[in-house]
Structure 1
Amino acid sequence: MGSVGVQIVCVALGVLGLIGTIVCLAVPRWKVTSFTGSNIVTAQVSQEGLWMSCVVQSTGQQQCKNYDSLLVLPSDLQAARAMTIISCMFSGICLLILFCGADFTTCVENEDAKPKISLVAGIGLMLAGILVIIPVSWSANNVVRDFNNPLMATQKWELGACIFVGWGAGALLILAGGLLCCFSRPKSGSSGGTAKYYSNSASAPNKNYV
């Protein structure tokens, strides 16, 4: 079983990854207006996220509007919503499982079960990290593709801060899960009972009958 220090580091990395995922889910900065080429109007900045689009004036005033319908949203945005929500749920549940099965807690008294619990938590954290990286990478690919498309000269977008936060959060979750998978191994010889075998000649007790 891994040391207590490694598990504490994994908990910290998992919490940071969960916070980053929540930021990506809530903050509408997946893509922002690009001021390149003929688009030099800097009086207002448009921002789009998973749930709403915002317009920030040069005076600092911000106006946001929720998307009208889920059915009119592009496929990458719909997938990003689902994957990010599932990632938040996975991260929270796996952190609770890890906390219960860690060596520095007494929630589970069975020492043989703790490595298995930590291993399950590590696999879940890795899956949560992958579920974050997939939507942000998909959205980043679409933004870069549209930016380099000469037919879309009226409105160009750039990568928002949530894309980079999502990459960082996914990396932290995968790192925490990988460390748990590496250090959460059952002890050799941790089985409950030990079988003893005797040979007929040497180990078996000799009994003399009269």
Structure 2
Amino acid sequence: MSNMAREILGFILTTSGWVLVSSTLPTDYWKVSSIDGTVITTATFWSNLWKTCVTDSTGISNCKDFPSMLALDGYIQVCRGLMIAAVCLGFFASIFALIGMKCTKIGGPDQTKARIVCLSGITFMCTGLCSLSACSLYAHRITSEFFDPMFVAQKYELGAALFIGWAGSTLCILGGALFCLSLSDGMSSNSSPSDRRAFVNSGASLMSRAMPQSQSSHTRRPPPEYSGTSQHFDKNAYV
């Protein structure tokens, strides 16, 4: 796979992952629970990072926003901070990727563009790690409460937002790894022609210096010496 094709594939993966991560922040169903009647579901309880709601069988929802940020549970505050950080990091990483990709006309020489793309890949990987940590922390809290026999309050299950967040985090990490691979290819492709010429020239100069003088003296032959009497011919010598 060429370097440009790898960058395009990495950009598609990271951008798709960032969109998925961003969509999980306002999504309703981070955790969900339902109360079933004899025939139909009578009520559905769901909650996210901002509010908790209940929906009855007629489709009417009654929501209650969390009253105070300082009164929230610690894990919700941490998940909020990680998800907001993931969205912000993904935004800046997308800008770095557009500047550093080979298919764009900005960013300077290829070596500089390769470094910018590598920086974008690292930022996208941090985006995926932040989102992955937030979703995993939230899921751990849900599962620990669900399997705790001493927990008597309403028990919830994993919502669709967590799975979307995990998928987006995976795409961001994979695409960021592809961006980081372009740094080594860009450095080697840019430095290969001049480095090869310099290497050949330096090797030739070293070989010429290391050649002994005896070998060069054998290749040189002195001009022949002729006596003065034998080389002077009269103009009528062959007549």
Range class of TM-score, shorter chain: 0.7 to 0.9
Shift of 1:5: 1.8
- The unaligned stretches of length 5 or more in structure 2 are 211-239
Moved more, 98-107 or 62-71: 62-71
Match of 1:175 in 2: 174
8 Å contact kept, 1:35–1:41:
no
Question: Secondary structure in 2 aligned to 1:43?
Answer: strand
On the 8 A contact 1:52/1:66 being kept in 2, the answer is: yes
What secondary structure does 1:113 align onto?
A: helix
| 3-state SS of paired residue (2:187) | coil
Q: Which residue of 1 aligns with 2:129?
A: 130
What is the CA distance between 1:32 and its match in structure 2? 0.7
Q: Shift of residue 140 of structure 1?
A: 0.6
Q: Who is 1:91 aligned against?
A: 90
| Farther-moved stretch of structure 1 (163-172 vs 12-21) | 12-21
Moved over 6 A (4+): 192-196
- Structure 1 spans left out of the alignment, 5+ residues: 204-210
- Report the aligned-residue RMSD: 2.6
1:10 alignment counterpart: 10
* 1:101 counterpart = 2:113: no
Deviation of the 1:34 alpha carbon = 4.7
* Cα 1:200–1:15 shift into 2, 3 Å: closer
Scaled by the length of structure 2, the TM-score of the pair is 0.76
Map 1:114-193; keep pairs closer than 5 Å.
114-185=113-184, 186-188=186-188, 190-191=190-191
Alignment size in residue pairs: 201
Cα deviations by residue, 1:34-86 (Å, 9 ceiling, x for unpaired): 558x9x99312111111111222211122322210001111111000000000
Report the secondary structure of 2:149's partner residue: coil
- After superposition, the Cα gap between the structure-2 partners of 1:180 and 1:189, relative to the gap in structure 1 and judged at 3 Å, is closer
Task: State the structure with bigger RCO (CA 8 A, min sep 6), 1 or 2.
Answer: 1
In structure 2, the CA distance between the partners of 1:200 and 1:149, relative to structure 1 (3 Å rule), is closer
Question: Which residue matches 2:23?
Answer: 23
Instruction: Classify the secondary structure of the residue corresponding to 2:79.
Output: helix
Taking structure 1 as the reference length, what is the TM-score of the superposition?
Answer: 0.85
Give CA deviations for 1:66-121 in whole Å, capped at 9, x if unaligned: 21000111111100000000000111110110111101100123111111111101
Instruction: Give distance in 2, aligned partners of 1:42 and 1:200.
Output: 88
SS in 2 for 1:116: helix
Q: How far is 1:181 from its partner?
A: 1.2
For 2:176 and 2:35, the matched residues in 1 are separated by 39
